[in-house]
């Protein structure tokens, strides 16, 4: 997978574990991912969550004939973070013919919850 010219590369997101129905990824909290007040930007957390859900969903489809795209995402930002590294853990809650639902929890280095997200992924046919 070529990530050089993608949002993942821009934000420093790295997928660290990929299994059927389970994904982990990390993202630094630095000048790329902070908001002006110095805290982790909520949009960066949402980008990390959707990345985890999308990468995980892609592993569960027929790659020759199907692709996946984000359909809906919500996030609750529980705790602020100023620096370091966050880790997202995604698990599939539902896999249907046309959609999947993923639960993503983002935690800090001490396993404190930073953000919780639910992402719906659409499964679409390749053209």
Positions marked active-site: 50
Q: Which residues contact 14 (CB under 8 A, 6 or more apart)?
A: 8, 25, 26, 27
Residue 48 CA: distances (Å) to CA of 54, 64, 74, 108: 10, 25, 12, 13
């Amino acid at each position: 997978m070529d990530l050089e010219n993608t949002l993942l590369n821009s934000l420093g997101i790295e997928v660290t574990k990929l299994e059927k129905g389970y994904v982990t990824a990390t993202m630094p909290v630095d000048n790329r991912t902070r908001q002006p007040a110095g805290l982790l930007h909520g949009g960066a957390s949402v980008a990390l969550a959707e990345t985890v859900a999308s990468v995980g969903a892609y592993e569960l489809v027929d790659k020759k004939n199907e692709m996946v795209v984000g359909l809906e995402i919500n996030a609750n930002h529980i705790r602020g973070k100023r620096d370091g590294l966050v880790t997202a853990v995604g698990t599939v809650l539902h896999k249907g013919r046309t959609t999947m639902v993923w639960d993503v929890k983002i935690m800090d280095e001490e396993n404190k919850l930073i953000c919780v997200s639910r992402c719906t992924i659409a499964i679409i046919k390749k053209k």
